[in-house]
């Protein structure tokens, strides 16, 4: 059926085919190079959030399963992976990258089916960027001493890696690629709602003939993650997820000698000056908060607009929001896919109510929504106070809070005034304003006249409650090495 955005244009369906994707009815755990049944005996269903239909039965790893995975990783580390000449290690990582490119369409469909994100996003961003990370870090495997001149480099051992549901494959690639290139072995846990792309990656790793136990994938929820964090034979924990869980992990690893990187939440500000190219800025804001359902840690969820152009920016934003298509993630016309889970939709709706009750003015596009699945219309709030919860707390949905400013100092103070510091955006025609602000914004990444651009060579990470440590680039290698 032709679907309508709120401008009433009818767009013919353009669904991506799923014929080439074989999802098995049931997945065990990938431990020691083999698929094994969970010792816990437990399974749960993973669903498609766009229609609530079951996709597969997934093993729920318990403490004994995590222990088996860590033992397999330790054995592979001691007997093969840490002893292998680095150039040979690099060849395996290159092989993963090439296979991922070959199977890109399949991975993109799986990611959209299980996560709800538009196929355009998974096809054009998630999968190619994941492959690019494997290519990039493969190249470093035999050049680590050049990355850190005059230092002796050594791997850490077994890395426990825990990732969230918003970029399931890409986050796995961010973590596995540098760990392997540096000579570590891995136990990775995907998020409970989006395990499929990591399980497909496990199959790909088998196909790449990595030595058994170098990469182990254990599925399950928070308790499975906690078992990895608390396992005494894990040398490093790399966590991407919420600030609340990050704090639990920080407490659990304190004093254990485990190396830790935390990539946590965000509440990114975009700042639009009156001299900016407004149409370009509006498109950047839409890209930063609405595409991908706002399920991005660095989503531009706060907008500060210079007072003189506020009305123009809001008018253009509303106009653009009307043309956004919310619907089937597998349709190539879709801009905003499904919210990842019923729980997350509940959180977003709770914050929309809070915004209204706090007295801000809400605008939502009036596009059609599918009858089944979890959906949220693109939403913006004007007349927002700096102390408002929708301006301070991470919502993780397509909800934008707009405020104004008169001077650069005011914009800076407001932008820096949250507990987070992951990313920020500046829109202006003046290079001097960009340089001035980028040095003063407390954010790990500042984009200027663009937003949400990623590259494996660039480090990424946060200030304040957005975490610590950096992933990506040479900095990302340091997180997986002992430097003497
Ligand atoms: P979450 O913290 O609930 O879960 C993340 C992962 O941790 C999941 O795999 C989960 O099963 C696991 N987990 C839960 N409790 C645990 C525990 N006690 N011990 C160990 N593991 C545990 O986060 P989420 O809702 O899946 O993801 C959204 C969050 O992730 C947002 O806050 C977002 O900003 C953040 N995020 C940050 C980045 C970044 O690079 N900074 C990137 C993506 C997402």
- Which segment of 84-88, 293-297, 304-308 scores lowest on mean pLDDT? 293-297
Higher pLDDT: 9 or 52? It is: 52
Q: Tell me the best of 61, 115, 116, 164 to mutate to test the pocket of ligand 1, counting ligand atoms within 8 Å of each CB and taking the most.
A: 164
Asked if residue 247 lies in contact with residue 231, where contact means CB atoms within 8 angstroms, the answer is no
Which band of pLDDT confidence, cut at 50, 70 and 90, is reported for residue 1?
A: very low
User: What is the spatial distance between Cα 89 and Cα 80, in angstroms, rounded to a whole number?
Assistant: 10
User: What is the spatial distance between Cα 190 and Cα 167, in angstroms, rounded to a whole number?
Assistant: 10
Q: Taking all residues of the chain, what is their mean pLDDT, rounded to a whole number?
A: 96
Asked if residue 200 lies in contact with residue 91, where contact means CB atoms within 8 angstroms, the answer is no
Which band of pLDDT confidence, cut at 50, 70 and 90, is reported for residue 4?
A: low
Determine the distance separating the centroid of ligand 1 and the alpha carbon of 241, expressed in angstroms. Answer: 2
The CATH 3.40.309.10 portion of the chain extends over 269-455
Topology classification of domain 269-455: Aldehyde Dehydrogenase; Chain A, domain 2 (3.40.309)
Read off the pTM. 0.96
Q: What pLDDT, in 10s, does the model give residues 138-189?
A: 999 999 999 999 999 999 999 999 999 999 999 999 999 999 999 999 999 9
Determine the distance separating the centroid of ligand 1 and the alpha carbon of 283, expressed in angstroms. Answer: 28
> Of the segments 15-19, 294-298, 347-351, which one has the largest average pLDDT value?
347-351
Determine the distance separating the centroid of ligand 1 and the alpha carbon of 8, expressed in angstroms. Answer: 38
Whether the pLDDT of residue 362 is over 80: the answer is yes
Nearest alpha carbon, ligand 1 atom 42: 297
Q: How many CA atoms lie within 13 A of 326 on its CB side?
A: 26
Q: Which residue has the tokens 């977003």?
A: 348
- The size of the chain, in residues, is 484
Q: To which H or E segment does residue 92 belong? A: helix 86-102
The CATH 3.40.605.10 portion of the chain extends over 15-264+466-483
Structure tokens at 420: 């987070």
Asked if residue 210 lies in contact with residue 92, where contact means CB atoms within 8 angstroms, the answer is yes
User: What is the spatial distance between Cα 66 and Cα 38, in angstroms, rounded to a whole number?
Assistant: 10
Q: Which residue, among 154, 177, 202, 178, has the nearest Cα to 35 in the 3D structure?
A: 202
Residue 189 φ then ψ, to 5° = -120, 120
User: What is the spatial distance between Cα 440 and Cα 358, in angstroms, rounded to a whole number?
Assistant: 30
Out of 263, 306, 465, 471, the active site residue is 263
- DSSP assignment string, 131-162: HHHHHHHHHHTT-HHHHSTTS-EEE-SEEEEE
399 CB-near residues (< 8 Å, 6+ apart): 289, 294, 301, 348, 351, 352, 355, 376, 379, 380, 381, 390
User: What is the spatial distance between Cα 169 and Cα 180, in angstroms, rounded to a whole number?
Assistant: 16
Whether the pLDDT of residue 3 is over 70: the answer is no
Class of domain 15-264+466-483: alpha beta
Q: What pLDDT, in 10s, does the model give residues 377-400?
A: 999 999 999 999 999 999 999 999
Q: Which residue, among 282, 296, 269, has the nearest Cα to 452 in the 3D structure?
A: 296
Whether the pLDDT of residue 264 is over 60: the answer is yes
Known catalytic residue: 367?
no
User: What is the spatial distance between Cα 163 and Cα 323, in angstroms, rounded to a whole number?
Assistant: 33
Structure tokens at 65: 């399963």
Lining ligand 1 with CB less than 6 A are 162-167, 189, 191-192, 221-222, 225-226, 229, 240-242, 245, 248-249, 263-266, 297, 394, 396, 422, 462, 466-467
Determine the distance separating the centroid of ligand 1 and the alpha carbon of 243, expressed in angstroms. Answer: 8
Q: Which atom of ligand 1 approaches the CA of 394 most closely?
A: 32
Burial of 322 (C-beta count, 10 Å sphere; 0-12/13-18/19+): middle
Which band of pLDDT confidence, cut at 50, 70 and 90, is reported for residue 11?
A: confident
Whether the pLDDT of residue 243 is over 60: the answer is yes
Q: Which atom of ligand 1 approaches the CA of 422 most closely?
A: 41
Known catalytic residue: 297?
yes
């Amino acid at each position: 059926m032709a679907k309508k955005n709120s401008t009433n244009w009818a767009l013919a369906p353009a669904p991506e085919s799923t014929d080439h994707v074989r999802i098995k009815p049931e997945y065990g755990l990938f431990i020691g190079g083999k698929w094994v049944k969970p010792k816990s005996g437990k399974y749960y269903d993973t669903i498609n959030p766009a229609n609530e239909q079951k996709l597969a039965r997934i093993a729920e790893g318990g403490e004994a399963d995590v222990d088996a995975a860590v033992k397999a990783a330790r054995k592979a580390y001691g007997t093969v992976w840490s002893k292998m000449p680095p150039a040979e290690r690099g060849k395996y990582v290159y092989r993963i990258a090439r296979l991922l490119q070959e199977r890109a369409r399949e991975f993109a469909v799986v990611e959209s089916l299980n996560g709800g994100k538009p196929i355009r996003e998974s096809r054009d961003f998630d999968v190619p960027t994941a492959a690019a990370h494997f290519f990039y870090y493969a190249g470093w495997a035999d050049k680590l001493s050049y990355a850190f001149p005059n230092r002796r480099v050594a791997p850490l051992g077994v890395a426990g890696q825990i990732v969230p549901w918003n970029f399931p494959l890409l986050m796995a690639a961010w973590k596995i690629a540098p760990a392997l290139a540096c000579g570590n072995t891995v136990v990775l846990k995907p998020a409970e709602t989006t395990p499929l792309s990591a399980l497909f990656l496990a199959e790909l790793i088998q196909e790449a003939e990595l030595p058994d136990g170098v990469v182990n994938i254990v599925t399950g929820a928070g308790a499975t993650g906690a078992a990895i964090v608390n396992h005494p034979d894990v040398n490093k924990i790399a966590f991407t997820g919420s600030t609340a869980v990050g704090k639990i992990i920080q407490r659990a690893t304190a004093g254990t000698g485990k190396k830790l990187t935390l990539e946590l939440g965000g509440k990114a500000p975009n700042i639009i000056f009156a001299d900016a190219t407004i149409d370009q800025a509006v498109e950047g804001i839409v890209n930063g908060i609405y595409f991908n359902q706002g399920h991005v840690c660095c989503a531009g969820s706060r907008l500060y607009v210079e007072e003189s152009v506020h009305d123009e920016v809001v008018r253009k934003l509303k106009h653009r929001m009307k043309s956004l298509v919310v619907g089937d993630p597998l349709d190539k016309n879709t801009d905003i896919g499904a919210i990842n889970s019923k729980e997350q939709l509940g959180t977003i709706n709770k914050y929309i109510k809070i915004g209204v009750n706090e007295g801000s003015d809400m605008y939502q596009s009036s596009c059609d929504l599918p009858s089944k699945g979890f959906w949220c219309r693109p939403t913006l709030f004007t007349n927002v106070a700096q102390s408002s919860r929708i301006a301070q707390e991470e919502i993780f949905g397509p909800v934008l809070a707009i405020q104004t400013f008169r001077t650069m100092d005011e914009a800076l103070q407001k932008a820096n005034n949250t507990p987070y510091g992951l990313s920020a955006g500046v829109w202006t025609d003046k290079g001097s304003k960009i340089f001035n602000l980028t040095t003063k914004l407390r954010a790990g990444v500042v984009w200027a006249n663009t937003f949400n651009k990623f590259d494996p060579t660039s480090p990424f990470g946060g200030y304040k409650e957005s975490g610590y440590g950096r992933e990506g680039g040479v900095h990302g290698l340091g997180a997986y090495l002992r430097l003497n």
